[in-house]
Amino acid sequence: MNPDGTGRPGRWKVVASLPMRLVYFDFPGRGEAIRDALRIGAVPFEDERIGFEEFRARRAAGALPFDVLPVLVLDDGTVLSQSNTILRFVAARAGLVPADPIDALRVDELLDAAEDYGGRLSVSIRIQDEAVRAALRAELAQRWLPDGSRSSSAPSRPPVEAGSSAARSAWPT
């Protein structure tokens, strides 16, 4: 049961209006797209940036559901995890989710593709030899970055304006 005595839809409304705090390290990493979405949508949030010592302390205290950052802490104590999940949550709140479900699906597709690409790219970070690293990255870009010609990801119509009523209607009520 929700605070307002209704079922799930009411709960979304309550959660969507809560003040929020993004906890991440002081670098872009998996936090910046979330920060960007909140900034673009002019959604107020606390941008808490912590160091590794503090991260380890919070992890040991059990404050991080998956033992990693980022997390988004809502004012009622709800802790949301997983960067892309958080991104979808704040994008909905910022009015950035396409109203058309297929267009929204295309966005998710790109998020998952970026996750795949990041996994492959991270292998190259550990390669010390610059020439070998550059060659691997060139190969990765050639093989895995979408060139547009193979992709059917282009939205079927222009994205809705951030914060517009069309965008807000994408938020479950």
Ligand X SMILES: N[C@@H](CCC(=O)N[C@@H](CS)C(=O)NCC(=O)O)C(=O)O
> Closest approach of Cβ 19 to ligand X, in Å?
21
Residue pair 65/8 in contact (Cβ under 8 Å)? The answer is no
CB 42, CB 93: distance < 8 Å: no
34 lines the binding site for ligand X (CB under 6 A): no
Which is nearest to 81 in space by CA: 23, 1, 145, 156?
A: 23
String of b and e for 31-61 (b: at least 16 CB within 10 Å)?
Answer: bebbbbbbeebebebeeeeeeeeebeebeee
Q: Tell me the closest approach of the beta carbon of residue 127 to ligand X, in angstroms.
A: 19
Q: Which of 20, 23, 30, 43 binds ligand X (CB under 6 A)?
A: 30
Q: Which stretch binds ligand X (CB under 6 A): 79-87, 96-104, 128-136, 152-160?
A: 79-87
User: Cβ closer to ligand X: 112 or 139?
Assistant: 112
Sign of CA dihedral 31, 37, 38, 40: positive
Query: Residue 60 or 145: which CB sits closer to ligand X?
Result: 60
Task: Give the one residue of 20, 22, 45, 83 binding ligand X; rule: CB under 6 A.
Answer: 83
Using CB under 6 A, which of the segments 63-71, 72-80, 131-139, 142-150 binds ligand X? 63-71
DSSP character for 29? T
Interaction of residue 153 with ligand X, rule CB under 6 A:
no
- Nearest distance, CB of residue 31 and ligand X, angstroms: 8
Pick the closer one to ligand X by CB: 82 or 153.
82
Tell me how far apart the alpha carbons of residues 76 and 15 are, in angstroms, rounded to a whole number: 8
Cis peptide before 70 (omega within 30 of 0): yes
By the criterion CB under 6 A, which residues form the site for ligand X? Answer: 29-30, 68-70, 82-84
